[in-house]
Amino acid sequence: MKKIKLLILFILIFSNIYFSMFLGANIGKELGGKNRYVLGTEIGSYSSIIALSLNLYYPMSGTDLDLENTNFSNIKLVEIDPYLSLNLKISSSAIYVGVAPILIADLETFEFGLYSRDIFHGKIGLKTGAPITISLEAITTFNLEFLSTDIYTINLGIGLTF
């Protein structure tokens, strides 16, 4: 497992050194499941047919979006998704579809591990504009037979491409 984690980290670092980078933030809403909001950040490369990105998500508790009363210093767990995507680049836009294992990071103990060996995230999205980039994507959770859990998250993001 440690070799896989190091390989993913190496691929993400290598791709972001040699290709253009995207750095952004997003907010999403679960449709189904707990119907909660999700805050996220992303770093990745969408310049070639193979896109790589590292996404961090914080699922907020409750169904209301209340950023003013959210104490971000109390965040203890975040989700990390290292996506490998197929990317169709059209001018300053990119349409992509990707998959990622779901990792959970404990920010107090600095430990992380695989959420499950049987499920992963899949996403489809669109990024457009440069250097300011707007993104829209849909994410769902799949099992190893590619059956969705029917819980979807719709994310809207903004970032910089450089």
Q: Per-domain residue ranges for the chain?
A: 2-66+75-161
What is the dihedral angle through the alpha carbons of 10, 141, 41, 81, rounded to the nearest 10 degrees? -20
CA distance linking residue 7 with residue 17, whole number of Å: 15
Chain centroid to Cα 38, Å, comes to 11
Backbone angles phi, psi at 115, to 5 degrees: -65, -45
pLDDT of 136 higher than 90: yes
Strand, helix or coil at 75? coil
User: Degrees (nearest 5) of the Cα angle 75, 126, 53?
Assistant: 50
- Mean pLDDT for the stretch of residues 4-18: 59
Q: How far apart are the first and last CA of the chain?
A: 32
pLDDT of the residue at 77: 85
pLDDT of 150 higher than 70: yes
pLDDT of 98 higher than 90: yes
Give 66-79 pLDDT, tens digit per residue.
777 777 777 888 99
pLDDT of 109 higher than 60: yes
pLDDT of the residue at 62: 66
Residue range 2-66+75-161 in CATH 2.40.160.20: yes
CA distance linking residue 142 with residue 81, whole number of Å: 14
